[in-house]
C-alpha cells in the first residue's frame, strides 16, 4: 500500500470500528446466550482437569477451602494424565471435605452426563481451548487457567462457544478481580489523565537455574505413570508425537509447541489487567523483540522480551521483562496528557499514585501529586474463584471479572508479540474480520493523515470527558505556517498578522 494514497475517510471508518470493537466486544462476537441460575437449594458440582501445579495448588486447594467456608459447592471428580497428581488431588479432597471424588481416566467422561456442573482446567496451554470448548458444549461452566488459549484462532473459537452456549467462563488471571482496575477505568473515562496515550507493564524475574526449570523432575515420571500420547494431544491434532521426555512434560512452558514462555505465562497477567484498567481491548499493530541471551539450557523461548502494541484509539502498550534481572524492573503505569497513574510492581495493591503534568500543559493550577486508595485484597486467587462461583450461581456470564472476550484481547496482544519475535515481522490485527496480516507503511500514514486533517484525538470506549486533555493550544504565530501560494505568504490569504 502506498502511504501517500491513504483515504482518510476509510481510515477513520476502520479506526472507529476498531475503537468500538475494543470496548464492546459483544458487538463483534454477538450476544451471549441465556443460561440457568442455580436453585436456592442446589449445589455446584465441580470437577478438576489437570490438577498438577497451579491446578492443584490454586484450583483444588482454594475451592476446598471455600467449600469448608460454606460455599455451595462439591468437589466431585478429578482427571490427570499423571496418576501421581490425580491420586494426590483425590486424597487431598477426601481429607478436606470428607467425600472422595471420582477419579476419571479421560476428561470427556467427566463431561458426559450430569457428573459435574463446572470444571477447572489446569492443563498445559495447548489443551485449554479444546477442553474449554468441550466443557461448554457439554453444558458445563468453566474456570480455565491463563492463558486462555495457545493460539489466536483458538481464542476466537472459545469466545464463540462461550457466546453460543451461554455458560459462565472465567479465565484465571486472578489480578483482574482486584478492585483497583474498575477504579482506574472510572477515573480515565472521567478525564483525570486527559487523553490516554500509553501504558507500560512488566514481569521481571531471576533464577539461577533458568525460568520454569524449578518444576522438578522425578523418576516417578515415566510412560507407566503418565499417559504421554494423551498429554501431547496427538490424536486431537494438538501436538506431534515425540519421545517421552520428563523435562518437556514438567517444564513445558520452555517449548513452543506447548506454551510461549514469558509472553503467555507472564505477560498475559499484566496485559489483561491493563486492558481492564484502560478500556482498551484488541490492538491494531503489534511488534515483538527479544532473544535467549543467557539461558542456554535447551529451551525454545526467550529470556528477554518486549512487546509493543499500538491501538486504534491512539494509545500504545509497552510490555517488557527479563527473566534474569528482578531487582530493577520498570514501574507499571498508565500515561495521559494531563498525568499518569503509577502502580509500582507486583499485584499487591492498596492504592496508586497520580502524578500530574506541568500546569503550563494542563492549565490546572495547584494540581499536586496524590495517593488514591483502594480496597486491598488479601488473596486474589480466592477472590477470583469467588467471583466465578457467584457468576455460576446467578447464571450470569457477564459477572466474571475475566471473561473470554477480555481473555481473547490479551491473547491477541501477547501472541502476536511472540509471533513477531519468531518471524521478524510486525503484524496488524483486524478485530472485525478476526484476521492477522503483515504490517506495512499504512499505520504511520494513517496517523499522519489525521494530523494533516487536524482531526480530534480518539478515545477508549467508555470515555465521557469530551475534549478534556485532548486538544492542543496552538500559539498565534502558527498562523504564519503553511505553503506560500503564488508567492504570497499564508497570512495574506487568511488576513492574519504576526511579527
User: What domains are defined for the chain?
Assistant: 1-23+178-211+251-377+403-468 (3.30.360.10), 24-177+380-402 (3.40.50.720), 216-250 (no CATH), 472-499 (no CATH)
Q: Is the pLDDT of residue 25 over 90?
A: no
Rounded Cα distance between 326 and 347, Å, is 15
Confidence of residue 41 (pLDDT cuts 50, 70, 90): confident
pTM over 0.85: yes
Beta bridge partners of 45: 74
In whole numbers, what is the pLDDT of the chain averaged over residues? 93
Beta bridge partners of 320: 202, 306
Confidence of residue 124 (pLDDT cuts 50, 70, 90): very high
Q: Tens digits of per-residue pLDDT, 333-392?
A: 999 999 999 999 988 899 999 999 999 999 998 889 999 999 999 999 999 999 999 999
Helix (H, G, I), strand (E, B) or coil at 279: coil
State residue 127's pLDDT score: 98
Q: Is the pLDDT of residue 3 over 70?
A: no
Q: Is the pLDDT of residue 16 over 90?
A: no
Beta bridge partners of 172: 145
Rounded Cα distance between 282 and 53, Å, is 30
- Helices 267-278 and 180-189, interaxial angle, to 10°? 40
Q: Residue 485: what are its φ and ψ, rounded to 5°?
A: -105, 130
Amino acid at each position: 500500500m502506498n502511504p501517500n494514497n491513504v483515504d482518510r475517510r476509510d481510515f477513520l471508518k476502520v479506526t472507529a470500528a476498531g475503537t468500538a470493537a475494543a470496548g464492546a466486544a459483544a458487538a463483534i462476537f454477538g450476544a451471549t446466550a441465556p443460561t440457568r441460575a442455580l436453585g436456592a437449594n442446589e449445589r455446584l458440582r465441580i470437577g478438576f482437569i489437570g490438577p498438577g501445579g497451579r491446578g492443584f495448588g490454586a484450583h483444588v486447594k482454594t475451592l476446598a477451602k471455600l467449600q469448608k467456608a460454606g460455599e455451595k459447592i462439591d468437589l466431585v471428580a478429578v482427571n490427570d494424565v499423571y496418576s501421581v497428581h490425580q491420586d494426590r488431588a483425590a486424597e487431598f479432597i477426601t481429607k478436606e471435605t470428607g467425600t472422595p471424588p471420582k477419579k476419571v481416566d479421560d476428561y470427556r467422561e467427566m463431561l458426559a452426563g450430569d457428573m459435574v456442573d463446572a470444571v477447572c482446567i489446569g492443563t498445559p496451554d495447548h489443551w485449554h481451548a479444546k477442553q474449554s470448548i468441550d466443557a461448554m458444549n457439554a453444558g458445563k461452566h468453566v474456570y480455565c487457567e491463563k492463558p486462555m488459549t495457545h493460539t489466536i484462532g483458538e481464542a476466537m473459537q472459545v469466545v464463540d462457544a462461550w457466546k453460543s452456549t451461554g455458560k459462565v467462563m472465567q479465565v484465571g488471571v486472578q489480578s483482574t478481580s482486584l478492585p483497583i482496575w474498575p477504579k482506574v477505568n472510572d477515573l480515565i473515562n472521567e478525564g483525570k489523565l486527559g487523553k490516554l496515550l500509553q501504558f507500560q507493564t512488566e514481569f521481571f524475574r531471576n533464577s539461577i537455574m533458568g525460568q520454569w526449570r524449578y518444576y522438578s523432575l522425578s523418576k516417578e515420571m515415566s510412560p507407566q505413570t503418565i499417559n504421554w500420547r494423551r498429554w501431547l494431544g496427538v490424536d486431537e491434532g494438538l501436538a506431534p508425537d515425540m519421545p517421552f521426555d520428563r523435562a518437556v512434560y514438567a517444564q513445558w512452558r520452555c517449548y513452543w509447541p506447548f506454551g510461549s514462555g514469558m509472553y503467555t505465562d507472564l505477560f498475559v497477567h499484566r496485559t489483561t489487567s491493563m486492558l481492564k484498567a484502560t478500556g482498551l481491548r484488541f490492538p491494531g499493530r503489534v511488534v515483538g523483540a527479544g532473544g535467549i541471551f543467557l539461558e542456554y539450557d535447551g529451551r525454545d523461548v526467550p529470556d528477554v522480551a518486549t512487546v509493543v502494541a499500538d491501538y486504534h484509539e491512539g494509545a500504545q502498550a509497552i510490555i517488557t521483562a527479563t527473566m534474569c534481572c528482578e531487582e530493577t524492573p520498570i514501574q507499571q503505569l498508565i500515561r495521559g496528557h494531563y498525568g499518569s497513574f503509577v502502580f509500582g510492581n507486583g499485584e499487591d495493591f492498596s492504592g496508586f499514585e497520580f502524578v500530574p503534568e506541568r500546569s503550563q500543559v494542563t492549565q490546572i493550577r495547584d494540581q499536586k501529586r496524590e495517593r488514591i486508595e483502594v480496597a486491598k485484597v488479601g488473596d486474589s486467587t480466592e477472590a477470583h474463584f469467588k467471583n466465578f462461583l457467584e457468576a455460576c450461581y446467578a447464571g450470569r456470564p457477564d459477572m466474571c471479572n475475566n471473561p473470554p472476550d477480555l481473555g481473547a484481547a490479551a491473547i491477541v496482544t501477547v501472541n502476536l508479540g511472540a509471533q513477531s519475535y519468531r518471524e521478524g515481522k510486525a503484524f496488524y490485527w483486524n478485530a472485525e474480520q478476526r484476521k492477522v496480516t503483515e504490517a506495512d507503511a499504512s499505520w504511520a500514514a494513517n496517523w499522519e493523515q489525521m494530523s494533516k486533517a487536524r482531526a480530534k484525538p480518539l478515545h477508549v470506549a467508555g470515555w465521557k470527558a469530551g475534549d478534556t486533555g485532548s486538544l492542543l493550544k496552538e500559539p498565534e504565530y502558527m498562523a504564519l505556517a503553511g505553503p506560500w501560494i503564488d508567492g504570497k505568504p499564508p497570512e495574506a490569504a487568511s488576513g492574519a498578522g504576526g511579527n
